[in-house]
Amino acid sequence: MNSSRNIWLLNLSTFFFFLGASSLNPIVSPFSMTFNASPFIVGVLAGITSVVSLFSKPVGGLVGDRGYRLEAMILGNILSLVSGVLYVVSALVSNIWLFAFTRALHGFSMGIFYPSSLSTAVDLAPAGRVGETLGWRGMMFSLGNIVGPALGGYASDYFGFAGAFFLVVLFSAIGALFVVPVRRDVGKIAVSGKKSEKAGYSELLRLHFVAVSVALLFFSASYSGVTTFLPALYKELSYPQRVFGRYMMIVGVASFATRLIGGKSADRMGPIPVSAAGLLAVITGYLLLIRATLPPASYASAVFIGAGFGLAVPAMQFMALGNLPQRIRTMGSSVYTMFFDLGTMGGQFALGYAAESLGYAGILKFLPALAGIALLILAVAYFAGDENG
């Protein structure tokens, strides 16, 4: 078994899965607006994916903790492929209900794919290099966010929404194919079953796991304001979709550049200081975005947001999952990422409601406060003597 080869095949599957998902970032809100949807409905249509992903992740966790982690990654890609087909159909027939259903199905695919994708990175990581391995995996996620929004934005401008939605079909098919040789090589992943290891799901009540999960909720709520309502603002101001695609490409490049730094630093320094540094950079980016909302000046905020995201995410993943027993690690990944979905969903719904009266630009002022709460939670965990700090 070639562990390094298998890690990179799974990293590539992760890249293509999220390449397809991120290609939707510049177009979901503008496409929703073609139905004359209000800001609140725009937020709801964006948030359906997070709602369903939230409730499907325990299913993905249970499947993964029974050794079927690679099968879950294949299934997640296949469901994403089906979602891509339905996205195309919804654009061709201009049906908002089909679009809403497809958003839900796409969320289900994420709930199945993501926990096993994250836990297998920890499973296959060399000893003492968990943070680094998560950093490399995170770089694939960031690379998807570099290329995906740009492709989605340009495809929708030149080929229409249906052409842009077809990218999800293509990339999901490729993502599934990369898992197949790993499944043949590894087979069913053997989950640690030492009789001396009495690891139950009560282990998820550890301080470090609870603290970083709640911090992730507020962090993702803040980030949803950028990914959901900034493209809607640009659409309202008659900018083409590729403008926000370019913004997210800059976020992705900056995140890509710092992911491995974040992971390796977490291995050496502990995850909390690195996570805090990342959140401070993100908060700086939000403040810059409030001050300069329109391009090209807004691109400076994208650099800080992306760099902070790249530092914080692998460190926070390490803090949540690094010390969890293997037999509950996929469920731990599920619960942890459920807080991401809960924060994204809550941010999309609450900020969408606020945008009804404040406008899309008005909700930006809430983003630094939300990320600041996440930073405060990590600070409390640090001074409480958290074992991973």
pLDDT digits (tens, 9 = 90+) for 126-182: 766 777 788 788 778 778 877 888 888 889 988 999 999 999 999 999 999 999 998
Model's pTM, two decimal places?
A: 0.73
3-state secondary structure 28-41: HHHHHHCCCCCHHH
Determine, yes or no, domain membership for 192: no
Determine, yes or no, domain membership for 196: no
Determine, yes or no, domain membership for 80: yes
Q: What confidence category does residue 15 fall into, taking pLDDT thresholds of 50, 70 and 90? A: very high
Determine, yes or no, domain membership for 358: yes
User: Mean pLDDT, to the nearest integer, of 98-106?
Assistant: 95
Structure tokens at 357: 């009266």
**pLDDT at 388 (0 to 100):** 46
pLDDT digits (tens, 9 = 90+) for 36-67: 888 888 888 888 888 898 889 888 888 887 87
Query: How far apart (Å, rounded) are the C-alpha atoms in residues 63 and 333?
Result: 12
Determine, yes or no, domain membership for 303: yes
Looking at mean pLDDT, say which of 56-65, 185-194, 237-246, 290-299 comes out highest.
Answer: 290-299
pLDDT digits (tens, 9 = 90+) for 201-230: 677 778 888 999 999 999 999 999 998 899
Q: What confidence category does residue 189 fall into, taking pLDDT thresholds of 50, 70 and 90? A: low
Q: Show the domain range for 356.
A: 3-187+202-383
Query: How far apart (Å, rounded) are the C-alpha atoms in residues 14 and 221?
Result: 23
Proportion of the chain above pLDDT 90, given as a percent: 45
Determine, yes or no, domain membership for 388: no
Q: What confidence category does residue 326 fall into, taking pLDDT thresholds of 50, 70 and 90? A: confident
Q: What is the CATH number of the domain that holds 307?
A: 1.20.1250.20
Determine, yes or no, domain membership for 194: no
Count: domains in the chain: 1
Query: How far apart (Å, rounded) are the C-alpha atoms in residues 362 and 380?
Result: 30
**pLDDT at 195 (0 to 100):** 41
Residue 389 pLDDT > 60, yes or no? no
DSSP symbol at 144: H
Residue by residue, DSSP assigns 62-99 as HHHHTT-HHHHHHHHHHHHHHHHHHHHHHHHHT-HHHH
Determine, yes or no, domain membership for 114: yes
Question: Do 322 and 388 contact (CB within 8 A), yes or no?
Answer: yes
Residue 277 pLDDT > 50, yes or no? yes
